[in-house]
Amino acid sequence: MFALITASIACALYVQAAGDLDKRAPSQWQLHPFGDTYDRCLGTYSAGLQNGASLAVQPCSTTDALNVFEFERERPGVVRLAGTDFCLDAGLGLKEFKLWSCLPEVPQQQWFYTADNHLAIYNGPGLCATYAGGGCSRIYCFPGISTCSSETYQQWVLTSVGSPPPSPVVKSVNIHPNNNFDLCLAPNGPDVYTQVDGTPVNVVTCSYGSRFFSLQLWDVPAKGTFGPIKMKNKDLCLDAGSTPLQNGRGLKLWTCYDGLYQQTFFRTEDDHLAIYNDVQCADVKREDGTTLQTWQCSGNNPQQIFVVGPEF
């Protein structure tokens, strides 16, 4: 009983502390049962990849196995099966452990990898993933969800498997809202000469030929690819704030971190700047025409159209 009470308190503390952690880049990991020799991994099979696909703890070398996941350690968010748009999902009742199309705004896909190796449902009622919740055969174990405790069957050890290669970049370009080449995205803090973490990025009049023009130049992903939107010659990137993202959050500058979820934008073929693998897009606030914010992506919304060019 004492162990269960202690674990419940610990899980509550994990959730409380999550918002205070520094930003970290999402990385690719394999999850192994605690005490294992890293021969077994949490995963599924490529042939059965669909909504509701089951998960198993199986030999890591299993043919056609998919067992690499992307997430940030000790920060809440989705746990994505690498190279897919499927995420770990606990179901509406928070009692299942399966794969489902990634929906970063739903609570059943919000996970938190704790400092003591638990995979806990973020802001949930003290629930953790267990690798033996569905029973075990001679080779496989079928994971599930149970009340968080200090038992070793709830502990997962991570091994890093690296990150995907960078996408092509278009360098030193203006970003123009809604095809208006008189307007540009630029930092808009109290001191035009100083850009720091948290400086807001807004829509301003393009200052072609002025000494401030370099502040309106960005390195952006090529169309159809994803990556950071970075100020020219600076280590500052467009940032949408901590996950989970939501409507109306102001976009700002922040120190660049390779692969950071809220700094990774997908530049779509129809000129949207979408947070990669999310439902939020860069959006110009309709009420004032200058505030840059996040908003749920809409294909026909002119407030979410951004074109780039020319290169300087």
pLDDT, tens only, 252-268: 999 998 878 889 999 99
Q: CA torsion angle for 34, 40, 46, 50 (degrees, to 10)? A: -30
Residue 237 has what pLDDT? 97
Write the pLDDT tens digit of every residue in 133-163.
Answer: 656 655 577 899 999 998 888 999 888 786 5
- What global pTM score does this model have? 0.52
In this predicted model, which residue has the larger pLDDT, 21 or 51? 51
Q: Which of 80, 56, 212 lies closest to 144 in space, CA to CA?
A: 56
Q: What is the pLDDT of residue 21?
A: 30
Mean pLDDT score across all residues of the chain: 84
Structure tokens at 50: 């669909």
What is the secondary structure of 41-69 as a DSSP string?
Answer: EEEEEGGG-STT-B-EEEETT-TTEE--E
| pLDDT higher at 54 or 4 | 54
Task: Check residues 75 and 293 and name the one with the higher pLDDT.
Answer: 293
Specify the pLDDT at position 272. 95
Residue-level pLDDT at 12: 34
pLDDT at 74: 65
Pairing of strands 56-59, 65-66: unpaired
Please answer whether residues 134 and 142 qualify as being in contact, where contact means their C-beta atoms are separated by less than 8 angstroms.
yes
Whether 11 shows a pLDDT value over 60: the answer reads: no
pLDDT given for residue 165 in this prediction? 57
Which structural domains are found in the chain, ordered by start?
A: 2-160 (2.80.10.50), 169-311 (2.80.10.50)
- Residue 169: strand, helix, or coil: strand
Whether the per-residue pLDDT at 38 is higher than 70: the answer is: no
